[in-house]
Structure 1
């Protein structure tokens, strides 16, 4: 005898949005050096993350003072996001 299993599925809409709740992780900023080294790899130097966007900028100026040929940088912004469940579709 063959057994049949019945299943019920519930569908829900999900939305991805920036997490702005009170307990959300903070938005952080950093800079990393993009200058290529002698072996054509990227310089591994990166500022520490900070909630203050000016601190990584200061790091970039300090890094360039130590390495005058390192003039290319990328800003790294970490913004927390959260999935938000809506009602049934």
Structure 2
């Protein structure tokens, strides 16, 4: 004998937004070196991540002092995001 089961489905809207709650991870900044080496691989050296965007910029100048030919960089920004469950539709 088979028993029919009734189910109620609720459709929910989700919202993605930057996480700005008090317990959210901090926004961090870093730079990585994009300069290609002799074997066409990226240098890939990377500054430490910092909540202060100026600190990684200092690392860029230090890295270029050690490697004067390394003149191409990418900024790496890590911004926490969170999904919020909205009202049923």
Q: Report if TM-score (shorter chain) is over 0.5.
A: yes
Could you tell me the TM-score, scaled by structure 1's length?
0.94
Aligned residues: 89
- Rounded to whole Å, the distance in 2 between the matches of 1:32 and 1:5 is 56
Quick check: 12-21 or 1-10, which moved more? 1-10
Aligned to 2:64: 64
Unaligned runs of 5+ in 1: none
- Rounded to whole Å, the distance in 1 between the matches of 2:39 and 2:5 is 62
Unaligned runs of 5+ in 2: none
Could you tell me the TM-score, scaled by structure 2's length?
0.94
Counterparts of residues 1-89 of structure 1 (less than 5 Å): 1-89=1-89
- Runs of 4+ in structure 1 over 3 Å off: none
